[in-house]
Structure 1
Amino acid sequence: MSCCSTVLSHAGVAGDTVENCEALTQRERGERVRVCVFVWVSVPRHLRLVLSACHTEVTRGCSEASQLCSNYCPFSFSQVAKPIKTVDFCDHCIFWLQALTLANASRQNYTTGEIVNLMSADAQQLMEMTVNINLLWSAPFQIVMAVVFLWKELGPSVLAGVALLLLVIPVNVQIAAKVKNLKVRYLNKYSDQRVKLLSEMLHGIKILKLYAWEPAYQRKLMSIREHEVDVLKSSGYLTTYSMLTLTCIPFMVSLATFGVFFHLDGENALTATKVFTSISLFNILRLPLFDLPSVISAVAQTKVSLSRLEDFLCAEDLNPEDVNTNYSGSKHIPEGSLVAVVGQVGSGKSSFLSAVLGEMEKLEGTVQRRGSVAYVSQQAWIQNDSLQENILFGANLNMPYYKLVLESCALLPDLEQLLNGDQTEIGERGVNISGGQKQRVSLARAVYSNADLYLLDDTLSAVDVHIGKHLFEKLIGPSGLLKSKTRILVTHNVTLLPHTDLIIVMEKGRISQMGTYQELISKRANFTELIQVFSAEHTNEKTTPVEGEKICILCLLSIFSFHSSLSKYSSSSSLELEMKVSVVLKYLQAFNWRWMWLTVAAYLAQNALAIGQNLWLSTWTAETAKISDFTEWKQSQNYKLLIYGLLGFIQGLLICCGAYVLTKGSLSASRTLHHQLLDDVLHLPLQCFETNPVGQIINRFTKDLFIVDVRFHYYLRTWLNCTLDVIGTILVITSASPLFIVVVIPLGYIYFTIQRYYIASSRQIRRLAGASHSPVISHFSETLAGRSTIRAFGHQGRFIRRNNDVVYENLVYFYNNVISNRWLSVRLEFLGNLMVFFAALFVVLAGNTVSSSTVGLSISYALNIIQSLNFWVRKACEIETNAVSIERICEFAKMDKEKPWIMSKRPPEGWPDRGIIEFVNYKAQYRKDLGLALDDVSFQTRSKEKVGIVGRTGAGKSTLTNCLFRVLEGSEGKIIIDGIDISTIGLHDLRGNLNIIPQDPILFSGTVQSNLDPLGKHSDLELWEVLELCDLKVFVQSLPKKLLHEISEGGENLSVGQRQLVCLARALLRKTKILVLDEATASVDMETDNLVQSTIKREFYNCTVLTVAHRLHTVMDSERVLVLDAGRILEYDTPHNLLQRKGAFSEMVAEAGIRT
């Protein structure tokens, strides 16, 4: 049966893994393993028969039985591993469920990166340990059996070797303990820190690029990586010492045993029978002695992983049945009412909704609700799926109601412009659609669920004015689609309050007031103050906030196409292209050719010495067989023993040197490939991050980099050693029996044919396994991001099933990989046994023309060739299949990069000093076969001018700002800032001298200080000044550690409004002449909005300010307003003149209900 057909035939078997494994009892597995070990250890005894009586058929039969059992033994191990892999599957599901139900207090202790690292690295460590667990008992058993047979050959002298073993093994156990300590105390720590920082960088990549912070965070990540590599270096050097002792143990044991053998009895003579039978037994000692410390170390590492997993799994869970809050008094919301929740930034509005959802930690009191719940979070959560599937959210399609929902949520115009309508893939986190579109998709998901209770967290702040009006009238308001449902709406728009049934006023985490609009107005307390704040400056605005859509539809079409081509590139290159030697050459180049050649030279020399050592023994025993003068022979034994020991000592030194330079080279490769990968990723254009799952990129920095750090150099070393062993073996056997070359050539051809056939299949299986692993990580990360929404909708079961599906698919490839390995073993070991048979046959047929010492040397080498060839093919396959990880790392180097960060032409110091921006016939498009996103745009700002940018959805507002920061490069025309064409300078010279406050307030885990000033350029006094300007000084002073207060991942321990104020403070620290406000106050209340606007006017009075409108009142006092439509400039003049013209701007103002 062919390898591929065997694999395919077992694909269905994977579905019955649990049943098959339960049918095979643990007792049966134990019997199989014991038979394998016993027959394998008995092979040297039959070598003795060959040397004594030349019973080649007996030898061949036993060798055949040994190898078949040895092949069956790993399969038995794999049978044991299958239920453990199934247990790992169950553990993964439990782990995933724990992450989904983790209490908020516990969640603060684990970042997304740390949780992903626990699942991908620690759980994998647990699974891999199970494959070799039987070595804990089988390795000692093999050692005991070998010692017993040695006793029969050499008598009490073998105790010298055993004593040496007892001295060396504890040393290696101690080394393993030190390696474990290094990994426990440092490696896991630095690995978690690196993955955590990387995850935050990828999620906040837009901020890093717009602020030109990539080099700073790159240095920060590389610093952590250097600590990680230092631990790998210490671990590698300890392992080098361990390898020295383990590799030299058989030689040292044989030397000690032979020496004692001579001195115990002066008449003892080493014959070929004794020597080569003993050497075969000593070689048997090599593998268990080599593996046992590694397994013990792996057990220690697994114990650490189990402890980390246990800590996470035992963390406190959320208990929705026991949810309590500190809201005093008894509050009741009537069924079918529209309730508004208002209050200042940080007053507890979102926390109130969390309490209703059951997401709050218990203090006192209870929250009771009836019926199903639908929740729309303040920051919309979008799945990496089609737009339709995001709305259906697992429900069946009811086309009439579905269309009604689309119409009510104002999504029909968007669908008409999308490339594939509602089947368009909108990507992970929905980053390839605008903020308003994301919010409306989330709202449509909630509406389609037809729930009894709707919790809407400031939903209307992220949409345009006319869309907001449409949503309230057609959906949320008293006459909307949800009029019969209970709706709790958090809002900053107090103009909606007269249309609500009930109003809840939040203050400092408590419900300060609750009642109807008229009741609260009559009380003239905090609620009235809110109204007055609004009325003082915005009495003329009568509708919902305005927000220009973040990315135009044309941008969406291009990004979708970019995503398709990139996905096609990734999948086809990963799954279809054959591995090329160039990939390994790239690793060797990173390895450093100097270290590579030194490694080859060291291993070549040590293998040559190993052959010389055995040839010396062969000559020695040949002389023993021709003893004529016993006295003279005895005098020469000490000399021969000394030479034998000297050759072994030099060989040990060469092994140590080879392992040392290999460690140096592997560390060089780890550093270089990580640095190249990080550099390539950070130089990718922003669209790439907006269309590719973060989990896929993280997988390159975790699983693939783990291969580079730990495994790949080990496979190269083993392959090189096996290659030299095979060459040496063939040379030794051929020198004894020249006819052997006639057999080697055809067997070698068959051997390599099988090898290439297997590698081609195994490579594809490994690649499919790698491709199936990324969805596991992506789905896990996606679920963590939307856990509140998933719990609110009660869809935990559906997501558990989806998680099971992606994990199970990964398990299928794991099982197929095991079966393909067994397919290879049966065929290769059969061919190996044929080589043994012919080697024995030819020396027997030679009769007395070949000495017994030569026969012993030839057959002992032939017995070893089975294992060497098997290892050689396996490691060659491991190199090819694991080189896929290097291939995936190198794929990022092939992707299109953004323009250089720094170019030879640099702007003068202090540029820009006037802030004059000029667009000259500027055209931009996201792809050549698409229309223009900006079409012949020409305008100029004056120095220090305040310009508002307005336009309907898809007008090109955000495209304009993207072009200014060169996130999107122009196709024609140019942009000039203070006389310099920005296309002629580096991106960092441009972005580092511009300033922006984006819509999405992104913070990183760390202190308040590090979030304000990640580059460390400003003093504490300056930080306090900007905090005071942003009305955050009192809040930060109230924190226990003030500026050193820890902000959790994504700023989750701050409200969205507070995060936006921190972003404002961050912008105030950047002293630039040009500021872009990209809907910067869409998520704050009116009072905070007033504070932000007044602060900007005061602190940026001498700067050019471009404001992408989020509320029309913010551009009414601009010096000029730029009106865009379909990428063209419709109007550009002062607000007064535009209103007098009765054009597009006047129409927008009229729709907003602003009196002029």
Structure 2
Amino acid sequence: MLPEQVFALLHAYVSMQRIEEFLNEAEVPDWASSLKSDISPDVSEDKIGFKAASFEWDVAPKNEPSRFTLGPLNIEFPKGKLTLVIGPTGSGKSALLNALLGGLEHATIKDNIIFGSRLGYDEARYQAVIEACALTRDLEVFDAGDSTEIGEKGITLSGGQRARIALARALYSQASLILLDDPLAAVDMHTAQHLVKNALSGPLAENRTIILVTHHITLCLPVASYLVELSFGDVLHWGTIQSLQERGQLQQLVAAEDIKDDSLPDTEAVTLENEADLAAGMQVTNPTRKPSSGKLVEAEARAEGRVSLRSYLTYIRAAGIIAWILTLLLVIQMRLINIAVQFYLARWGEAYEDSEASRSNQNWHWPWERLPSPNQNVVPWLMIYFYLSMAGAFSVLAYISLGYYASLQASRTLFNAMLTRLAAAPTRFFDITPIGRILNRWTSDINTVDGQLQSSFRAALYGSLNFLASFTVIICVVPSFAPFAVVIAWLYVRLAPSYVQASRDLRRLESVSLSPAFAGFDELLRGLPHVRAFGMEKRYQDGFYKKVDKFQSFDHVYWLVANWLRWRYDCLGSVVVFLTTVFALWSGIGDGLAALVIVQAEVFAEASRQLVTVLAQLELDFNSVERIVEYLDVPQEAPAMIEEKRPPAYWPSNSGELSVNNLEVKYAPDLPSVLHQISFTVRPSEKIGVVGRTGSGKSTLALSLLRIVEPCGGSIVIDGVDISTIGLDDLRTRVTIVSQDVSLFSGTIRSNLDPFAEHTDQECWEVLERCHLTSVLNRSGENNSSVPLDTPISQSGSLSAGERQLVALARAVLRRSSVVIMDEATSQIDTDLDDQIQRTIREEFASSIVITIAHRLKTVLDYDRILVLGGGEVLEFDTPRTLINKRGGVFREMCKASADWPMLRSIALGKEVTNGSSS
């Protein structure tokens, strides 16, 4: 008991040190948190800006030469006006917004827009926001309208839809200051024009200070009042639009932008009715209708009744059956040695009173009866006791060691099995399963298997043998106690089921109630800037308290039930000891045996209570195994490799085609199709641009090419191989995708660029230079500065969104795949750098099939052909020249609504002439 308490105290000490370290971390300033609203900020309400301010991200070491510094800043933003913040990729635009101080919470679209606003639900304002943010058509697509649950991180929405819902949230609020980090980058040009005209300059933006980070300078300039240009953390130009124009600085920016941007500030934005035509005339319905629940994430399943036999067998097999057999044998040995020691001590005490004559008259002798009287020589008695004690000590040591080994082996096996299953789970599983639920399995349940379960399992084995052994000893020494023992045992058994059932269900409820707390905390960390910006800390804090209180309430009731059982068993234990003592004295046995029986009666009483509680606790702990086993049954993706269907080593070759035939894709069997039997063929080394309105199915097509979303109909054939017939590893290692939402991992530039160390440092360096990463990551702006490959990269924070996309692009160039998919791969990059990147793509992937999904029309205008999607169907697919000359064509109308229709037309015609001359 004492070692366990010392161990628990050490654990508590380590935990308190970690809590103390966290509490000693620096906090945000008082003015940056609504939890400290009683402290008034020492600034004027009429002024928003910076005065001799400098900022750093606390990621790189202090002595790191490339450590990014923003400032010094001396800027005052005009109140009630729109301010543009511009600059190249990595110049500090997003850092500036954070200095003034994302994501969506797991709720419905309507809840995300209202977001705890003090207004509550204002129907007129809500509908105006929906219209201004071009969400009307999107809500009509969802069966449940704005009651659709969007999932964690807005997983069910496209990038453009997430951006517009976040913008709608800002506009719906009554905030006088709105910070927008380039929401136009994630939407097509038609939608961007609509947002500028109706959201950034309409009635909803009136008398509100809006600071907008954007690369669409020309598009936003007519509605802006102030402009700030950043470069490598420094302010190059700032001032009102009029003052910049008078100084001649504005003309330089506009002249450069006119060449790069596809937008038209004074052109009427495409109306929602025109967008409906682009979306192939989807049915118009009320966006707030609720024909279905819109529920994405179902309540966490909770088992009922007893833990299944499969859970016990899974745990035993995970540890190894031999290990548990040896553990059982050691427990039996320990108990037999313990009983032998007690008998020996009892006989040793009686030996002081026995005479030599009485011992010599006995016909049969115990081994110790042959020992000399302890009155004459006590050494033999001491040596036997020493040997018995040592045997018991070594048995205990072997038992504990083997128990811990079996427990760790079981835990490791279950952990690896769950990791393997989850790693191969389809994306739909993660869409409908909150991260908190998964974290609960990895933390709480695995922790139970690591520690508590093996203790409960050993205690159950030991308690069972204690119960049987003590009962046997009492009956053998005092047979007359047997009838009473049966009655008492029945009473023990009678009380057990109520406790076991109640405690089991309480533990299951406790386990289920912990998942929302994990999910809420994870959601808060990811969306903390938005929570602070909207002053919602108190709301999230109260919500977290409620979730923890719910969890603690189940735990509190569980211990009340445990105390209920303990009181009753203690009473029965007292009765057992009393009756055993009476029968031992009445039967006239020796003093030593009487003491032995009384001791065993106490052991019997304690073992009876312990056995029930431990067996109940064991079943409760096996609830964690049951929850882990549940994740061992999650659906799986297709096999990683199919040996008899492996493609050749050279597949796909540069001479192969990519053919999509009647492709139909659903995200789940019970959901409508996203792509409707689309067909097209990409010739060898052809560059295909994919355009269409937000939500038209462009990203779904990209995911289908890697079978991240499995088609429910049709086929995709690459270089003569139907990709549905081969293993996923063979497919995904040969086809490269650069997605809109880039995933980087904590480490270095090299580990993110070449995670499997398949390339030399020189090759990595050359790729960085060709993708213009060396100049972008060079924070100092000097041409002779270099960025080492071991420069640290954090999972989120050390690189801007554009820089992260460049790293992903460099990773794709390093792989040199024959099929490359770009899903908005340069949406967060400034237009000047985008032009350079497009030249790099054409050079590096000259012999590869490239499919590029883009909102910027100029990005794909010089591609070989353009695929126009709308409503999950192919609206047009032809060369840019053919499409741009097609009267009434969708692509032509998209280009005509853009900024430089003559320039776009000339680029398309020039591309076709070049092709024609070469052929």
- Which is richer in helix? 1
| Residue of structure 1 equivalent to 2:79 | 335
Contact 1:1074–1:1104 at 8 Å: present in 2 too? yes
Structure 1 unmatched runs, 5+? 1-290, 358-379
| Residue of structure 1 equivalent to 2:6 | 296
1:307 aligns with 2:17: yes
Q: 1:889 aligns with which of 590, 606, 628?
A: 628
Shift of 1:779: 1.4
| Residue of structure 2 equivalent to 1:75 | none
Contact 1:460–1:544 at 8 Å: present in 2 too? no
Q: 1:1131 aligns with which of 876, 882, 886?
A: 876
SS of residue paired to 2:235: strand
Shift of 1:393: 1.3
Q: 2:844 aligns with which of 1084, 1099, 1123?
A: 1099
Instruction: State the number of aligned residues.
Output: 831
Name the CA distance, whole Å, in 2 between partners of 1:790 and 1:1132: 44
| Residue of structure 2 equivalent to 1:1090 | 835
Name the CA distance, whole Å, in 2 between partners of 1:820 and 1:1067: 59
Name the CA distance, whole Å, in 2 between partners of 1:898 and 1:776: 29
1:613 aligns with 2:341: yes
SS of residue paired to 1:1152: coil
Q: 2:527 aligns with which of 786, 791, 805?
A: 786
| Residue of structure 2 equivalent to 1:663 | 404
| Residue of structure 2 equivalent to 1:368 | none
Name the CA distance, whole Å, in 2 between partners of 1:982 and 1:491: 39
Q: Aligned pair in 2 of structure 1 residues 565, 802: CA closer, same or farther (>3 Å)?
A: closer
| Residue of structure 1 equivalent to 2:169 | 445
Q: 2:131 aligns with which of 407, 420, 427?
A: 407
SS of residue paired to 1:971: strand
Shift of 1:699: 2.3
Shift of 1:1133: 1.2
| Residue of structure 1 equivalent to 2:369 | none
1:582 aligns with 2:306: no
Shift of 1:563: 10
1:351 aligns with 2:73: no
Q: Aligned pair in 2 of structure 1 residues 581, 726: CA closer, same or farther (>3 Å)?
A: same
Q: Aligned pair in 2 of structure 1 residues 565, 1089: CA closer, same or farther (>3 Å)?
A: closer
| Residue of structure 2 equivalent to 1:858 | 597
Name the CA distance, whole Å, in 1 between partners of 2:9 and 2:115: 43
The 5 Å alignment of 1:963-1002 reads 963-1002=704-743
Q: 2:647 aligns with which of 884, 889, 907?
A: 907
Name the CA distance, whole Å, in 2 between partners of 1:393 and 1:537: 37
Shift of 1:866: 2.2
Q: Aligned pair in 2 of structure 1 residues 808, 662: CA closer, same or farther (>3 Å)?
A: same
Q: 1:572 aligns with which of 302, 319, 334?
A: 302
Shift of 1:814: 2.1
Q: 1:492 aligns with which of 183, 201, 215?
A: 215
Letter in 2 for 1:1071: R
1:767 aligns with 2:497: no
TM-score where L is the length of structure 2 = 0.86
Describe the superposition over 1:446-494 as per-residue Cα deviations: whole angstroms up to 9, x where unpaired.
11112212211111111222221211111112x4421332221111012
SS of residue paired to 1:922: strand
| Residue of structure 2 equivalent to 1:505 | 229
Contact 1:432–1:691 at 8 Å: present in 2 too? no
Describe the superposition over 1:518-570 as per-residue Cα deviations: whole angstroms up to 9, x where unpaired.
54345445x55543433335577668999x99x9999x9xxx999968734x4
1:701 aligns with 2:411: no
SS of residue paired to 2:199: helix
Name the CA distance, whole Å, in 1 between partners of 2:607 and 2:722: 65
| Residue of structure 2 equivalent to 1:383 | 105
Name the CA distance, whole Å, in 2 between partners of 1:1062 and 1:1137: 35
Name the CA distance, whole Å, in 2 between partners of 1:435 and 1:784: 20
Name the CA distance, whole Å, in 2 between partners of 1:539 and 1:736: 99
1:812 aligns with 2:542: no
SS of residue paired to 1:926: coil
- Which is richer in strand? 2
Contact 2:180–2:210 at 8 Å: present in 1 too? yes
| Residue of structure 2 equivalent to 1:1067 | 812
Letter in 2 for 1:400: A
Name the CA distance, whole Å, in 2 between partners of 1:1063 and 1:833: 72
The 5 Å alignment of 1:77-116 reads none
Shift of 1:1007: 0.9
Name the CA distance, whole Å, in 2 between partners of 1:313 and 1:908: 57
Letter in 1 for 2:868: V
Contact 1:493–1:545 at 8 Å: present in 2 too? no
Q: Aligned pair in 2 of structure 1 residues 879, 1041: CA closer, same or farther (>3 Å)?
A: farther
Contact 2:85–2:212 at 8 Å: present in 1 too? yes
Name the CA distance, whole Å, in 2 between partners of 1:702 and 1:545: 51
The 5 Å alignment of 1:672-1071 reads 672-846=413-587, 848=588, 850-904=589-643, 905-914=645-654, 915-1036=656-777, 1042-1050=788-796, 1052-1071=797-816
Q: Aligned pair in 2 of structure 1 residues 511, 537: CA closer, same or farther (>3 Å)?
A: closer
Contact 2:89–2:776 at 8 Å: present in 1 too? no
Q: Aligned pair in 2 of structure 1 residues 1152, 753: CA closer, same or farther (>3 Å)?
A: farther
Name the CA distance, whole Å, in 1 between partners of 2:269 and 2:386: 87
SS of residue paired to 2:75: coil
Name the CA distance, whole Å, in 2 between partners of 1:907 and 1:545: 49
Name the CA distance, whole Å, in 1 between partners of 2:789 and 2:198: 46
| Residue of structure 2 equivalent to 1:594 | 322
Structure 2 unmatched runs, 5+? 32-40, 43-49, 55-70, 359-371, 780-784, 906-919
Q: 1:1149 aligns with which of 878, 895, 907?
A: 895
Letter in 1 for 2:880: P
Contact 2:463–2:607 at 8 Å: present in 1 too? yes
Contact 2:144–2:294 at 8 Å: present in 1 too? no
Contact 1:832–1:866 at 8 Å: present in 2 too? yes
| Residue of structure 1 equivalent to 2:34 | none
Identity, in percent, stands at 35
Q: Aligned pair in 2 of structure 1 residues 398, 632: CA closer, same or farther (>3 Å)?
A: closer
Contact 2:216–2:263 at 8 Å: present in 1 too? no
TM-score where L is the length of structure 1 = 0.69
Shift of 1:1024: 1.1
Name the CA distance, whole Å, in 1 between partners of 2:778 and 2:125: 52
Letter in 1 for 2:215: H
The 5 Å alignment of 1:118-129 reads none
Q: Aligned pair in 2 of structure 1 residues 330, 1046: CA closer, same or farther (>3 Å)?
A: closer
SS of residue paired to 2:714: strand
The 5 Å alignment of 1:505-544 reads 505-517=229-241, 519-525=243-249, 528-538=251-261
Name the CA distance, whole Å, in 1 between partners of 2:401 and 2:627: 28
Describe the superposition over 1:398-452 as per-residue Cα deviations: whole angstroms up to 9, x where unpaired.
1221122122122222222223222222122212211111111111111111221
| Residue of structure 1 equivalent to 2:62 | none
Name the CA distance, whole Å, in 2 between partners of 1:761 and 1:1054: 52
Name the CA distance, whole Å, in 2 between partners of 1:312 and 1:710: 25
Contact 1:563–1:691 at 8 Å: present in 2 too? no
